[in-house]
Chain A
Amino acid sequence: MGILHSHFSVASFNSLLALSQQEELADLPKDYLLSESEDEGDNDGERKHQKLLEAISSLDGKNRRKLAERSEASLKVSEFNVSSEGSGEKLVLADLLEPVKTSSSLATVKKQLSRVKSKKTVELPLNKEEIERIHREVAFNKTAQVLSKWDPVVLKNRQAEQLVFPLEKEEPAIAPIEHVLSGWKARTPLEQEIFNLLHKNKQPVADPLLTPVEKASLRAMSLEEAKMRRGELQRARALQSYYEAKARREKKIKSKKYHKVVKKGKAKKALKEFEQLRKVNPAAALEELEKIEKARMMERMSLKHQNSGKWAKSKAIMAKYDLEARQAMQEQLSKNKELTQKLQVASESEEEEGGTEDVEELLVPDVVNEVQMNADGPNPWMLRSCTSDTKEAATQEDPEQLPELEAHGVSESEGEERPVAEEEILLREFEERRSLRKISELSQDAEPAGSQETKDSGSQEVLSELRVLSQKLKENHQSRKQKASSEGTIPQVQREEPAPEEEEPLLLQRPERVQTLEELEELGKEECFQNKELPRPVLEGQQSERTPNNRPDAPKEKKKKEQMIDLQNLLTTQSPSVKSLAVPTVEELEDEEERNHRQMIKEAFAGDDVIRDFLKEKREAVEASKPKDVDLTLPGWGEAPGSPPSFLIKAPEGPPRKDKNLPNVIINEKRNIHAAAHQVRVLPYPFTHHWQFERTIQTPIGSTWNTQRAFQKLTTPKVVTKPGHIINPIKAEDVGYRSSSRSDLSVIQRNPKRITTRHKKQLKKCSVD
């Protein structure tokens, strides 16, 4: 009850008209004191009016709801809107809703308000240009998509060997034979006779022109079906033929390695399948296992792959002298072993191995056995390499020494032949290197052979030779062994010590196998050095000059290291020997510059042997430029008995090459200026390499050099058009696409500018962009 009320009550108190209501009077005592200083003048009319209203309202009988009176708590009350400035907070809808909560009568308003709250504001529509742009973009993407279906067709047509226009096939307008026949009658006696015969045999004469059998057959299978079936059959036949061809091809392959690989693959596959079988179906797997076992038993029972056969015996005899025979025997034996080996348990297999080896030793002649033992285990590959190496080494030994001597001979003479000598020396160095590696291998292999001297009392010459060699090598080798056993010590020191004899052969073999190629090489070089020491004093002298910390107590070692580096970088660095030969003393002045330059080149082309390549190239060029003998022999000529005329015309010795004395230059003397005017200078566009172009030119296309069919194929024009035929633009139906059923017109006439939901999505995306 606020101020207004009190006003009213005071006024009523003052007035003489005692028209009072009960409620009002009840309020009186409360507000009495408050309202003394009210102006009365204008209150009077107002009051009257109020009274009147009251009276009217009471008249209408129903209990009308009283208007709630309220007082403003805000400091500033605006008549336009509600603000919350006084509290310093923002007015939120929730604040307004709070008082509503209590009264249930305002539920609808509340609902409406909450709905308003949940809705978001609508953004401003895009301007017209923007919308059009988006429309265009969407439409363009759509069209591009439609067009992209033509890509394969276009590509195909562009690459086609031949295009025949018009594209659409015109149906030949040939009337069926029935139609032709219907308007025709037999007139001549012969025709009449024929028709009589036909009638007698109940052959159809007129319209369908088919016998009942033919009709039945026609009904049995439609043309399409028949075509399909034929196609299938053709396919099957083709596949079969491919398969056959493949099998034949594979069968023809002579490579043992290939077959081995295939066999291995098969075995692996079988094993895998077996594994799978074991998992899936143990019973079947067991059966399979039994089969394998049985096969093994059969193998053991039989004398196959053993040394009792005719072939094996002959080989056994041959084996003494022939390495290959020995090898073959070894292979057979290993196969036997493989076949008779049991599949399972490790411990058993060991025993068995021992057993089989025993058997082997009984069966196989000593020589074979011995080599096998050396190679440790029944690995035929190891074995072969070993034996072949020994053989090679025997032959290689001497030539290895020779070039060295030769090189020195040349170096001493060093006259006009210098460039040649240089080149030769370079190449010889390579030779050496290769031979070194061979020797190292040899030494490795030969060493165990030597250790088992006791066994091979009756060995052949090869082995004896080997032994001689191995004896030489032995010293080194022992030291290396030592190195392996005691890691970190310098081999040089070890070499002086006598090798301990107690080491077992097994241990001896172990470190050898671990060794890397470099180690082997090193060994070889050591060995080589010993051999070379005598004929190479000049070289060493130079090296010693070049090495600043050249201690007298360990000259050998240093040298060795130098040599190693030298050999490895031989291609890029100018090796000292070469330098001494090739570079005259005048060049010493520019030495510094030169060296820098060389260094740079060396770094740039590390790993490339540029010099060698160039030398090789030049040699080839020289070879190619030499005039060749002309052979005029024609097939069939000069084959008659009697003195055959010689068709070979010897080429005269040409003038000396211009670059004969220029080691670093190749001068092409072949180019003919007169011919060049007729030659193609630049490789034409589609070709990527000159030999492609040359080959196309060299392949004749005329009928003089080709069969008729090949000629026709080669000369098919790219585009064929028929005169007098209209060529229509390509259609979707022509290339097997489905053209749209709706016409363009109908599409426009429907609604052209409607935006689908998808468009809207794209539109949104575009607007984000």
Chain B
Amino acid sequence: PPGPTRGLLCPRRVNSSTEGARTGHSHYVTPAESAMEGSDCTAKEPPLANVCRQNYGAAQDPVEPAVPRSASHVTGSSLGKAEVACGRRWRKTAGNIKCELLRRIILISVPRNYDPALHPFEVPREYVRALNATKLERVFAKPFLASLDGHRDGVNCLAKHPKNLATVLSGACDGEVRIWNLTQRNCIRTIQAHEGFVRGICTRFCGTSFFTVGDDKTVKQWKMDGPGYGDEEEPLHTILGKTVYTGIDHHWKEAVFATCGQQVDIWDEQRTNPICSMTWGFDSISSVKFNPIETFLLGSCASDRNIVLYDMRQATPLKKVILGMRTNTICWNPMEAFIFTAANEDYNLYTFDMRALDTPVMVHMDHVSAVLDVDYSPTGKEFVSASFDKSIRIFPVDKSRSREVYHTKRMQHVICVKWTSDSKYIMCGSDEMNIRLWKANASEKLGVLTSREKAAKDYNQKLKEKFQHYPHIKRIARHRHLPKSIYSQIQEQRIMKEARRRKEVNRIKHSKPGSVPIVSEKKKHVVAVVK
């Protein structure tokens, strides 16, 4: 019989994956488990240490006869013996699968005592792991994947294929539309679609055709598949309009598309006249977007600094919000029907709840120049923005600061950006005629992960989250290299902002209390909401 030291070496709790072992020890609760059970761990005071000591008191007791009760208890010194015994038995009863399995389990399982008293340094050890994980994340952060070149002018618009992840469409400033294959990273088709700019491009929800609008006052519908050999590239339909269309978007379910220009027109695909046009004031509307969830809703933004929402069914505008500066484009959250984000000229992005337009839900500020485009991740948790400051940034929806900034030396003003529908990649089209492909998570490993890799990844992620507030880890995680222009711009703007803030504080301080209203940052940018 094992002596008193056995209590230490062979803890009675064995980490085996057998169900029996687990149920046998159901009385024991590790701190983490208990934390999970009491999900709001704020309520209970943890008597964990005491509990554990009680439970392990028995194991330390030298008098207690340490006879293994079940297979899961066979550990430590008795392990070898058991193995030998098993081996002998197999020779007799070959093919005893159960025994074989049991043997494997025994061999794999690492006996471990989870008593917190025996692990006094768990927090420091985890801290070090978190620090390493954060460092490694920065080491492996190589987001740039590919650059697709071929356009002969700046890329003005991008579109995703709704059914195919590998296909991307782009329209350039010289009226050329190209279709790309992302896996092969080459252009598979080139169409001279318009004279002048291709202002907007969108795919039909089924993925069989796509629409383009250009400076030549036409709306053209094209087939997704190229023409047969010897046939000429011709659009399926061409609609000749009276004015220039500046944007186009397709309905998410039906054969309806919307264009914008002087007014928002809703078109039936089968007709050459819009079935409904909606206006509110007279100004050029730069972009129109269908709501992906409540598909009858549209949002548009115009040059007179406003964002207008429309209801297609009731054929009427709903509400208008006027911001401090012009909004370039908006994007609806694909998971939250009433949330949209507007990319504004004043370097900021504004996330609105469309039912309460007077205050944006969040003001996202990090860009140092006008934001030109925005697109949501299909998970609805993040979005990417393209800016005139030659960078793209990724913002969490609920954070006002970006979590990531991408830039390369050759990338000029980024005009359009898209997040692929599997939420793994980001594409951006810029002034210098290239489309670039980025990873959405800079340090993510591409390709298939083994289960251990996956577990390690998850664990590291959790560690980073857990220790993210610690100053050193925070510093490393936040560190990004920026081009000099952006960096100096940030510094400059910081100074300007501080000066403005100081002035406001002074004004409040030296005027009659209450005479100078204190306006929150969120409200500051909204000029008015028009009913």
> Complex formed: what's the CA distance from A727 to B420 in Å?
9
Q: A641 → chain B, closest Cβ, in Å? A: 10
- Convert A379-399 into 0s and 1s, putting 1 for each residue whose CB lies closer than 8 angstroms to a CB of B: 000000000000000000000
B311, A701: Cβ atoms closer than 8 Å: no
> Complex formed: what's the CA distance from A699 to B31 in Å?
6
B30, A727: Cβ atoms closer than 8 Å: no
A710, B8: Cβ atoms closer than 8 Å: no
A707, B15: Cβ atoms closer than 8 Å: yes
Cβ of A146 under 8 Å from chain B: yes
Cβ of A541 under 8 Å from chain B: no
Contact of A745 among B256, B463, B467 (CB under 8 A): B256
Cβ of B408 under 8 Å from chain A: no
B253, A636: Cβ atoms closer than 8 Å: no
Chain A residues numbered 692-732 whose CB sits less than 8 Å from any CB in chain B? 692-693, 695-717, 719, 721-732
Contact of A701 among B42, B319, B463 (CB under 8 A): B463
Cβ of B60 under 8 Å from chain A: yes
Cβ of B424 under 8 Å from chain A: yes
Task: Tell which of B118-126, B172-180, B367-375 binds the partner.
Answer: B118-126
Contact of A744 among B31, B116, B295 (CB under 8 A): B295
Q: Which residues of A contact B256 (CB under 8 A)?
A: 744-745
Q: Which residues of A contact B466 (CB under 8 A)?
A: 696-697, 701
Q: Which residues of A contact B339 (CB under 8 A)?
A: 154
Cβ of B347 under 8 Å from chain A: no
Cβ of A310 under 8 Å from chain B: no
Task: Tell which of B33-41, B91-99, B219-227, B511-519 binds the partner.
Answer: B33-41
Q: A265 → chain B, closest Cβ, in Å? A: 27
Chain A residues numbered 106-155 whose CB sits less than 8 Å from any CB in chain B? 132-133, 135-137, 139-140, 142-144, 146-148, 150, 154
Q: B55 → chain A, closest Cβ, in Å? A: 12
B296, A744: Cβ atoms closer than 8 Å: yes
B275, A678: Cβ atoms closer than 8 Å: no
Cβ of A75 under 8 Å from chain B: no
B32, A705: Cβ atoms closer than 8 Å: yes
Q: Which residue of B lies closest to A747 (CB)?
A: B313
> Complex formed: what's the CA distance from A696 to B42 in Å?
10
Q: Which residues of B contact A157 (CB under 8 A)?
A: 335-336, 380
Cβ of A557 under 8 Å from chain B: no
Cβ of A14 under 8 Å from chain B: no
Cβ of A223 under 8 Å from chain B: no
Most buried by B among A137, A715, A731: A715
Cβ of A493 under 8 Å from chain B: no
Say whether, besides A165-B378, A724-B422, A726-B422, A143 and B318 are in contact (CB < 8 Å): yes
Chain A residues within 8 Å of chain B by Cβ, number: 77
Task: Tell which of A428-436, A451-459, A564-572, A748-756 binds the partner.
Answer: A748-756
Say whether, besides A743-B253, A744-B295, A137 and B32 are in contact (CB < 8 Å): no
Q: Which residues of A contact B59 (CB under 8 A)?
A: 635
A708, B17: Cβ atoms closer than 8 Å: yes
Q: A671 → chain B, closest Cβ, in Å? A: 16
B422, A749: Cβ atoms closer than 8 Å: no
B292, A714: Cβ atoms closer than 8 Å: no
A140, B313: Cβ atoms closer than 8 Å: no
Q: Which residue of A lies closest to B6 (CB)?
A: A636
> Complex formed: what's the CA distance from A212 to B294 in Å?
50
Cβ of B266 under 8 Å from chain A: yes
B4, A139: Cβ atoms closer than 8 Å: no
Cβ of B88 under 8 Å from chain A: no
A700, B126: Cβ atoms closer than 8 Å: yes
> Complex formed: what's the CA distance from A199 to B164 in Å?
50
Q: Which residues of A contact B36 (CB under 8 A)?
A: 710, 713-714
B471, A681: Cβ atoms closer than 8 Å: yes
> Complex formed: what's the CA distance from A725 to B495 in Å?
45
Cβ of A345 under 8 Å from chain B: no
- Convert B222-253 into 0s and 1s, putting 1 for each residue whose CB lies closer than 8 angstroms to a CB of A: 00000000000000000000000000000111
Contact of A730 among B117, B123, B293, B472 (CB under 8 A): B293
Cβ of B5 under 8 Å from chain A: yes
A726, B163: Cβ atoms closer than 8 Å: yes
Q: A715 → chain B, closest Cβ, in Å? A: 4
> Complex formed: what's the CA distance from A316 to B62 in Å?
46
A748, B4: Cβ atoms closer than 8 Å: no
Q: Which residues of B contact A659 (CB under 8 A)?
A: none
Q: Which residues of A contact B122 (CB under 8 A)?
A: 698, 700, 702, 704-705
A725, B422: Cβ atoms closer than 8 Å: yes
Cβ of B22 under 8 Å from chain A: yes
> Complex formed: what's the CA distance from A165 to B163 in Å?
16
A639, B62: Cβ atoms closer than 8 Å: yes
Chain A residues numbered 645-690 whose CB sits less than 8 Å from any CB in chain B? 677-681, 684, 688-689
B355, A692: Cβ atoms closer than 8 Å: no
> Complex formed: what's the CA distance from A111 to B17 in Å?
98
Q: Which residue of A lies closest to B268 (CB)?
A: A745
Q: B199 → chain A, closest Cβ, in Å? A: 24
Q: Which residues of B contact A719 (CB under 8 A)?
A: 379, 381
B421, A726: Cβ atoms closer than 8 Å: yes
B531, A695: Cβ atoms closer than 8 Å: no
Cβ of A640 under 8 Å from chain B: yes
> Complex formed: what's the CA distance from A710 to B119 in Å?
17
Q: Which residue of A lies closest to B461 (CB)?
A: A717
Cβ of A163 under 8 Å from chain B: yes
> Complex formed: what's the CA distance from A748 to B463 in Å?
53
Q: Which residues of B contact A698 (CB under 8 A)?
A: 31, 122-123
Q: B288 → chain A, closest Cβ, in Å? A: 15
B458, A715: Cβ atoms closer than 8 Å: yes
B266, A748: Cβ atoms closer than 8 Å: yes
> Complex formed: what's the CA distance from A686 to B470 in Å?
15
Chain B residues numbered 286-316 whose CB sits less than 8 Å from any CB in chain A? 292-297, 309, 311-316
B422, A727: Cβ atoms closer than 8 Å: yes
B531, A140: Cβ atoms closer than 8 Å: yes
Q: Which residues of B contact A743 (CB under 8 A)?
A: 253-254
Given contacts A154-B336, A684-B469, A729-B293, 10 further A-B contacts (CB under 8 A): A140-B319, A144-B355, A154-B337, A678-B470, A702-B129, A707-B33, A717-B458, A729-B292, A730-B337, A743-B253
Q: Could you write out 14 A-B pairs with CB less than 8 Å apart? A: A135-B314, A139-B311, A140-B318, A635-B60, A707-B114, A710-B36, A714-B462, A721-B424, A726-B163, A727-B421, A744-B313, A748-B275, A748-B276, A749-B268
Q: Nearest 7 CB-CB pairs, A to B?
A: A752-B315, A729-B292, A727-B378, A729-B334, A636-B8, A635-B60, A715-B458
Instruction: Enumerate chain A interface residues (CB-CB to B < 8 A).
Output: 132-133, 135-137, 139-140, 142-144, 146-148, 150, 154, 157, 163, 165, 634-636, 639-640, 677-681, 684, 688-689, 692-693, 695-717, 719, 721-732, 743-745, 747-749, 752-753
